[in-house]
Amino acid sequence: MSTAPDDTRHHVVVIGCGFGGLFAVKALRRAPVRITLIDRTNHHLFQPLLYQVATGILSEGQIAPAIRDVLRRHPSVRVVLAEVQRIDPAAQTVVATEVSGNEATFHYDSLIVAGGSVPSYFGHDEYRRTAPGMKTLDDAMHLRGQIFGAFEEAEMEEDDARRRALMTFVVIGGGPTGVEMAGQLEELSRRALDMNFRRIDPKTTRVVLVEGGESLVATMGARLSRLTARDLGRMGIEVHLGAMVTGMDEGGVELTQPDGTHLRIESITKVWAAGTRASPLGAHLASTTGVALDRSGRIQVQPDCSLAGNPEIFVVGDLMALDDLPALAEVAMQSGVHAAHTIMRRLRGDKKMKAFHYRDLGTLAVISRFRAVAKVGPLQVGGFAGWLLWLVVHVTFLTGFKNRFAALARWAISFIGRGRYERALTGRWVARAATDGGPAPDSA
């Protein structure tokens, strides 16, 4: 991988094409720079709709457009499919392994590290094998295979106890991701699989949502937390608050309840939505630059998202520790844009540090058809109004996806209707829930 020798423009290397990296690159569109964007997948991922891929509503392409195609009108951007191995701040280089297996070295003038986060199992990485996270397309496809495979297996199962375990889904983590996943599993079993089976009744599926804290979607405030718990309860979802996962195996989950008693739930398919930690890239960057990591492995940045001692390196998104900002798509987008603007200002000769200020545009979680909770500024709405707001925000977010209308139309048809079109299990994804080796190792 080389550049034309006469290309003397300022070279920005961006690592990761999630919300942080993509928005940084887009913000640099008219800057007098050349950009190399390195990602280990060929797609940007609209993570908030990952649960819809896992439950068969949307196809991979509908939430994961090819990066090259998204950036085809950005001639200054070169997209590289490769996995970053190391960063050398002294030499100002990034070394990455290409798809061919070759190592390539990229020299940068400015570096934006947007490596994102991975599921955190709080020291119990062995849980990952039986409870995949919800961070990558691989995770979603793996879960899709497990979920639809569990119903297939249940239909054949003679043993009552095992059939119950196959038809019990435990979602761990009561944030927006967990709430949406639990709600969608319930919709799937109550409506989408109607008349599909002859021996089992999918309507008897048990969906359990486990949250270690005192409330669901805690960041939305007490009123919406209560509304969420009430709506999920009415749908038939079993909510356990203040319950810690203290054990997990292929056949079930063990909980310690607030009163100290233990509860075992027999369940083959578990989904981990309990927390995230920074990508391992954070620890590597800390070791080479000497900056501090926070408890979640995130890099402590200066107020302008750059590193102390290495102002040419920016860290944005989930990998960034600043003002206790949460790991949200919106934070990633805004910090990515801030880093891009800082680079542009510096190129214009303005070296003054300008701090990043996050504008909280709100949080949302969809619960079921036509019901959602949303906190947008002073607004706190639930029910149908919340759902409408959710819709509006997602239409806005989807801007930049050339297939946003197709995705939305398909989503609307599937979600409002009964259909789950994306249920085809291919050989490699077909589930053997209990004996499956977990998601591909490269998805973390």
> Which of the residues 176 through 235 are near its own copies (CB under 8 A)?
193-199
Report phi then psi at 156, rounded to 5.
-95, -20
Closer to its own copies at the Cβ: 104 or 218? 104
Q: Which of 20, 21, 48, 56 binds its own copies (CB under 8 A)?
A: 56
Min CB(275)–its own copies separation in Å? 22
Rounded to 10°, the helix 404-416/383-397 angle is: 150
Closer to its own copies at the Cβ: 89 or 133? 133
CA angle 111, 114, 116 (to 5 degrees): 155
CA 433 – CA 165 distance, rounded (Å): 11
Closer to its own copies at the Cβ: 17 or 227? 17
Q: Which of 85, 98, 120, 383 binds its own copies (CB under 8 A)?
A: 98
Closer to its own copies at the Cβ: 145 or 176? 145
Candidates 9-17, 94-102, 256-264, 312-320 — which segment interacts with its own copies by CB under 8 A? Answer: 94-102
Closer to its own copies at the Cβ: 142 or 240? 142
Q: Which of 10, 26, 29, 42 binds its own copies (CB under 8 A)?
A: 42
What DSSP assignment string belongs to 288-313?
HH---B-TTSPEE--TTSEETTEEEE
Query: Judged by CB under 8 A, does residue 80 bind its own copies?
Result: yes
Candidates 57-65, 235-243, 300-308, 373-381 — which segment interacts with its own copies by CB under 8 A? Answer: 57-65
Min CB(117)–its own copies separation in Å? 17
What number of residues does the chain have?
A: 444
Q: Residue 8: which residues within 8 A CB-CB, separation 6 or more?
A: none
Query: Given CA atoms 343, 344, 350, 355 in this order, what sign does their dihedral have?
Result: negative
> 180 catalytic, yes or no?
yes
Binding mask 242-281 for its own copies (x = CB under 8 A): ----------------------------------------
CA 301 – CA 292 distance, rounded (Å): 9
Q: What does DSSP say about strands 93-98 and 103-107: parallel, antiparallel, or unpaired? A: antiparallel
Q: Please, where are the H alpha helices in 71-159?
A: 127-130, 137-156
The size of the interface with its own copies (CB under 8 A), counted in residues, is 72
Binding mask 114-143 for its own copies (x = CB under 8 A): ----------------------xxx--x--
Distances (CA, A) of 349 to 9, 32, 302, 346, 389: 15, 13, 20, 5, 42
Q: Which of 124, 221, 430, 438 binds its own copies (CB under 8 A)?
A: 430
Q: Which of 21, 78, 272, 307 binds its own copies (CB under 8 A)?
A: 78
Query: Judged by CB under 8 A, does residue 104 bind its own copies?
Result: yes
CA 300 – CA 218 distance, rounded (Å): 25
**Burial category of 350 from C-beta neighbours within 10 Å (exposed 0-12, middle 13-18, buried 19 and up):** exposed
Q: Which of 126, 249, 350, 442 binds its own copies (CB under 8 A)?
A: 442
Distances (CA, A) of 192 to 153, 168, 202, 422: 17, 17, 9, 12
Closer to its own copies at the Cβ: 56 or 176? 56
Closer to its own copies at the Cβ: 194 or 350? 194
CA 317 – CA 339 distance, rounded (Å): 11
Query: Judged by CB under 8 A, does residue 146 bind its own copies?
Result: no
Report phi then psi at 243, rounded to 5.
-105, 125
Cβ atoms within 10 Å of 27's Cβ, excluding its own: 18
Which listed residue (83, 103, 155, 180) is catalytic?
Answer: 180
Q: Which of 52, 62, 117, 342 binds its own copies (CB under 8 A)?
A: 62
Min CB(338)–its own copies separation in Å? 27
Q: Please, where are the H alpha helices in 47-158?
A: 50-54, 60-63, 67-70, 127-130, 137-156
Q: Which of 91, 156, 283, 353 binds its own copies (CB under 8 A)?
A: 156
Closer to its own copies at the Cβ: 79 or 167? 79
CA 128 – CA 133 distance, rounded (Å): 7
**Between residue 370 and residue 409, which ones bind its own copies under the rule CB under 8 A?**
402-403, 406
Min CB(415)–its own copies separation in Å? 13
Query: Judged by CB under 8 A, does residue 431 bind its own copies?
Result: yes
Catalytic positions are: 180
